[in-house]
Chains A and B, each alone.
Chain A
Amino acid sequence: MTVDAGFMTPGDKSWVREWLFTIDHKRIGMLYLWCIMAFFAVGVFLGLLMRLELFWPGKDLIGPQEYNAVFTLHGVIMVFLVVIPSIPAAFGNIFLPLQLGAEDVAFPRLNTFSFWLYVIGGGTALVSLFTGGGAPDTGWTFYVPFSSVTTTNVSMAVAGVFILGFSSILTGLNFIVTIHRLRAPGLSWARLPLFAWSLYATAWIQVLATPILSITVVLIIIERLLGMGIFDPARGGDPILYQHLFWIYSHPAVYIMILPAMGVISDIIPVFCRKSIFGYKTIVGSSLAIAFAGSLVWAHHMFVSGMSDTAVMVFSFLTFVVAVPSAVKVFNWLSTMYKGSIRPEPPLIFALGFIFLFAMGGITGLVLGSAGTDMHVHDTYFVVGHFHYVIFGGTGFGMFAAIHYWFPKMYGRMYDRRQAIISALLLVVGLNGLYFPMYLLGLAGMPRRYYDYLPQYTQLHQFSTYGSWITLIGLGLMCYNLIRSRYRGEPAGRNPWAAATLEWTLPSPPPTHNFDQEPVVTHGPYEFGEVQDDA
């Protein structure tokens, strides 16, 4: 059976004009999705490479300098090219206007421009590998003084980060205006789907935090090219100031990474429990609270940097405060499931994986947030374990959940549900195998960013590498299933999950102009009584 290709139908212009210069938000979202997936594959490859190197103590595959370059790249690619744009740029672009009942985002051309900036920034970051004095070796944080003196190609890489940051700002700006101005009649703020709400909170962080990163990386470039000495103590500068500026962005950035994923989960859980979400207002409130409070805790990355004791105590306390709204969300999700009529479809399985892994990462976050324990595990594998649980288990799983939830809408076809569930389970097992040993390694004192280690860590490292292979199998199965289904899957119809948000009232894939007539919204996003089952 064939599926009407909707907005993906080839037009009469050339492919480049049709796609690369499109101003259709759905196509732009798809382009982001594909680019992000490609970068993700590169990042995973680099991660696996590190795991292989760490299988035995001593040098196996790559030497220390290459290892430094590999973890830097892995980090830069994963953070700036994959996780930060992941859900907002890909799924936000495709589905935000649809959920609002709008024709497009507020500034369609600006949207194309952001995409181009993303490509150019990503390209610049990649080119920095092969040119200049060799791939950057500073770690993705580009800490001074090392980043201002190393001979590797840092300037180019941070220029890429600057451009990517600009792209992120413009996407956020576009979304804020879109949500304010383009909601369909009847779609009051209290009826906004939680995914849209989470994008709204995220967009504010993008707009407010990213400029600080931009100026920070500009300063690195200026330091390197002109020798300004702004961070050089001998010339009146202060390297700790760099860390403050960097984390003022990069801590809120972790909420850019996680909030949209939380939004996806909040949209998925009610649909597969056939129950209205428990505590809509608290979920909205906690998103905004996370966005706000999350901006005040950056210095918890700097407990051992030599800040004053008072500062350490204040930031430690504030960090505990942000944990509250996150916990509130988990509580809301679980309460929604309580006594719901649960349909264990793949998106829900991924969502549950998210909750589990995110909780694992969040709880260890408290260990890092309390200054006393952080002293012990700072810059050890404990940290690596923590952030992978949160960003791979959290954002990554949020992304996978989103793909499985919206796949039938994007392609008009359904994937093999059994395979999807198996891949989700493999990934949960694999991630635990991969990252749980890192907690133990960290507690035992294994520092991060080392290509070699003492023999007593061997067993845990090997365990972790086995985990990385299971993860790889899980990812492989998931990709195979999705790619095959994109061409061969059963036609999925308009609303296979019987969801109540606006995007499901459109044909799958949606037509280029979205809605024939502007929809009028008469009920909330999780009132399933009104949903007509799909024929």
Chain B
Amino acid sequence: MHEHRDYQGAKMGMWLFLFTEILLFGGLFVLYAVTLGRFPIEFHEASKLLDVTMGTTNTVVLITSSLFAALAVTALQKGNRRLAEVFIGLTVALACCFLVIKYFEWSHKFHMGIYPGSADIADWAPGKQAFFALYYTMTGLHGVHVLIGMALFGWVWWLIRAGKCTSDHYVALENGGLYWHLVDLVWIFLFPLYYLIT
């Protein structure tokens, strides 16, 4: 049987899949919007407890990694396999960096007793508690997507090494890049909604 290759089909499948991911987060954004509508003042106050510097740093880190992902695709298209591998490596390294910053941010919050169900926040206003419940859920889910994206790039990297993802058939890398842009995009919405609302 001949190998079935359909570049447009593969891209279309990926776009559809990204759509489902947007909807997955969409459910949470709806919850966020409704809760914000009910507790605007509490959200404002809770937001002040987040560390804007760390959040901003992470935004920059993630956007840069997205840039590297795009560069990796271009490099492979132009036939420069080495360079593509380097860019993939940089993307994954920055993803790691993102998670490390996130880790420090979260553990600091935990240390201060700010996490759902903790004794310290039990008598906070319900709206402030809801803010943190959503914060941990949404950034947590986003973090899981960062991990998945890293695994995906690891796999594509392996495909390139094995000669299965080449300058003629680079759709795997391209789809990986698309996925990464989505992860980036979701963060770009999360960042102002949580860190910058006033």
Which residues of A pack against B, CB within 8 Å?
Answer: 103-104, 106-108, 110, 169, 173-174, 176-177, 180-182, 207-208, 210-212, 214-216, 218-219, 222, 226-230, 233-238, 241, 245, 248, 513
Contact B24 A228 (CB under 8 A): no
Q: Which residues of A contact B34 (CB under 8 A)?
A: 238, 241
Taken together as a complex, chains A and B put the C-alpha atoms of A238 and B31 apart, in Å, by: 9
Contact B117 A226 (CB under 8 A): yes
Q: Which residues of A contact B31 (CB under 8 A)?
A: 230, 241, 245
Q: Which residues of A contact B38 (CB under 8 A)?
A: 236, 238
Q: Which residues of B contact A233 (CB under 8 A)?
A: 126
Q: Which residues of A contact B25 (CB under 8 A)?
A: 215
Q: Distance in Å from the Cβ of B54 to the closest Cβ of chain A?
A: 22
Task: Give B41-55 as 1s and 0s: 1 = Cβ < 8 Å from A's Cβ atoms.
Answer: 010000000000000
**Are A226 and B116 CB-contacts (below 8 A) given A211-B23, A236-B35?**
yes
B130 at the interface (CB under 8 A from A): yes
Q: Which residues of B contact A108 (CB under 8 A)?
A: 4
Task: Give B3-32 as 1s and 0s: 1 = Cβ < 8 Å from A's Cβ atoms.
Answer: 010101110110011011101111110110
**For the complex of A and B, 9 pairs with smallest distance between CB atoms:** A236-B130, A236-B126, A215-B27, A211-B23, A227-B117, A211-B24, A181-B9, A235-B129, A228-B133
Q: Which of B13, B26, B35, B141 contacts A173 (CB 8 A)?
A: B13
B149 at the interface (CB under 8 A from A): no
B134 at the interface (CB under 8 A from A): yes
Taken together as a complex, chains A and B put the C-alpha atoms of A177 and B28 apart, in Å, by: 28
Q: Which of B6, B23, B133 contacts A235 (CB 8 A)?
A: B133
Taken together as a complex, chains A and B put the C-alpha atoms of A248 and B34 apart, in Å, by: 15
Contact B20 A210 (CB under 8 A): yes
**Are A177 and B9 CB-contacts (below 8 A) given A219-B137, A226-B117?**
yes
Contact B141 A176 (CB under 8 A): no
B158 at the interface (CB under 8 A from A): no
Contact A212 B27 (CB under 8 A): yes
Taken together as a complex, chains A and B put the C-alpha atoms of A218 and B28 apart, in Å, by: 11
Taken together as a complex, chains A and B put the C-alpha atoms of A135 and B23 apart, in Å, by: 31
Task: Give B126-155 as 1s and 0s: 1 = Cβ < 8 Å from A's Cβ atoms.
Answer: 111111011011000100000000000000
User: From A166, which residue of chain B is reached at the shortest CB distance?
Assistant: B20
**Are A237 and B130 CB-contacts (below 8 A) given A181-B9, A216-B27?**
yes
Q: Which residues of B contact A211 (CB under 8 A)?
A: 20-21, 23-24, 26-27
**Are A236 and B16 CB-contacts (below 8 A) given A104-B4, A106-B6?**
no
Q: Which residues of B contact A216 (CB under 8 A)?
A: 27
**Are A173 and B134 CB-contacts (below 8 A) given A212-B23, A215-B24, A228-B117?**
no
Taken together as a complex, chains A and B put the C-alpha atoms of A176 and B19 apart, in Å, by: 13
User: From B11, which residue of chain A is reached at the shortest CB distance?
Assistant: A177
Q: Distance in Å from the Cβ of A145 to the closest Cβ of chain B?
A: 15
Q: Which residues of A contact B16 (CB under 8 A)?
A: 173, 176-177, 207
- Sample (15) of A-B pairs whose CB atoms are under 8 Å apart: A104-B4, A177-B12, A181-B8, A181-B12, A212-B23, A216-B27, A226-B136, A228-B116, A228-B117, A230-B134, A235-B133, A236-B129, A236-B133, A238-B34, A238-B35
B191 at the interface (CB under 8 A from A): no
User: From B19, which residue of chain A is reached at the shortest CB distance?
Assistant: A207
B106 at the interface (CB under 8 A from A): no
User: From B118, which residue of chain A is reached at the shortest CB distance?
Assistant: A227
Taken together as a complex, chains A and B put the C-alpha atoms of A230 and B1 apart, in Å, by: 52
Contact B27 A236 (CB under 8 A): no
B170 at the interface (CB under 8 A from A): no
Q: Which of A103, A228, A248 contacts B137 (CB 8 A)?
A: A228
Taken together as a complex, chains A and B put the C-alpha atoms of A238 and B6 apart, in Å, by: 46
Q: Which of B1, B13, B116 contacts A106 (CB 8 A)?
A: B13
Contact A513 B24 (CB under 8 A): no
How many A-B residue contacts, CB cutoff 8 Å?
109
Taken together as a complex, chains A and B put the C-alpha atoms of A280 and B179 apart, in Å, by: 39
Given contacts A180-B12, A181-B8, A235-B133, 17 further A-B contacts (CB under 8 A): A104-B4, A106-B13, A107-B13, A169-B17, A180-B9, A182-B9, A211-B20, A211-B21, A212-B27, A226-B136, A228-B136, A236-B38, A236-B39, A237-B35, A237-B130, A245-B31, A513-B1
Q: Which residues of B contact A229 (CB under 8 A)?
A: 116-117, 129-130, 133
Q: Distance in Å from the Cβ of A117 to the closest Cβ of chain B?
A: 14
Q: Which residues of A contact B27 (CB under 8 A)?
A: 211-212, 215-216, 245, 248
Taken together as a complex, chains A and B put the C-alpha atoms of A373 and B28 apart, in Å, by: 33
Q: Which residues of B contact A107 (CB under 8 A)?
A: 9-10, 13
Taken together as a complex, chains A and B put the C-alpha atoms of A215 and B32 apart, in Å, by: 13
**Are A181 and B6 CB-contacts (below 8 A) given A212-B23, A236-B35, A236-B39?**
yes
User: From A173, which residue of chain B is reached at the shortest CB distance?
Assistant: B16
Taking each of B23, B38, B117, B136, which has the highest tally of chain A beta carbons within 10 Å of its own beta carbon?
B23
Q: Which residues of A contact B8 (CB under 8 A)?
A: 181
Q: Which residues of B contact A181 (CB under 8 A)?
A: 6, 8-9, 12
Q: Which residues of A contact B137 (CB under 8 A)?
A: 219, 222, 228, 230
Q: Which residues of A contact B13 (CB under 8 A)?
A: 106-107, 110, 173-174, 177
Q: Which residues of A contact B128 (CB under 8 A)?
A: 236
Contact A235 B126 (CB under 8 A): yes
Taken together as a complex, chains A and B put the C-alpha atoms of A228 and B127 apart, in Å, by: 13
Q: Which residues of B contact A174 (CB under 8 A)?
A: 13
User: From B134, which residue of chain A is reached at the shortest CB distance?
Assistant: A230
User: From A180, which residue of chain B is reached at the shortest CB distance?
Assistant: B12
User: From A236, which residue of chain B is reached at the shortest CB distance?
Assistant: B130
Task: Give B76-119 as 1s and 0s: 1 = Cβ < 8 Å from A's Cβ atoms.
Answer: 00000000000000000000000000000000000000001100
Taken together as a complex, chains A and B put the C-alpha atoms of A216 and B125 apart, in Å, by: 25
Taken together as a complex, chains A and B put the C-alpha atoms of A219 and B10 apart, in Å, by: 31
Q: Distance in Å from the Cβ of A292 to the closest Cβ of chain B?
A: 16
Q: Distance in Å from the Cβ of B129 to the closest Cβ of chain A?
A: 4
Taken together as a complex, chains A and B put the C-alpha atoms of A226 and B134 apart, in Å, by: 12
Q: Which residues of A contact B1 (CB under 8 A)?
A: 103, 513
Q: Which residues of B contact A226 (CB under 8 A)?
A: 116-117, 136
User: From B130, which residue of chain A is reached at the shortest CB distance?
Assistant: A236
Q: Which residues of A contact B134 (CB under 8 A)?
A: 230
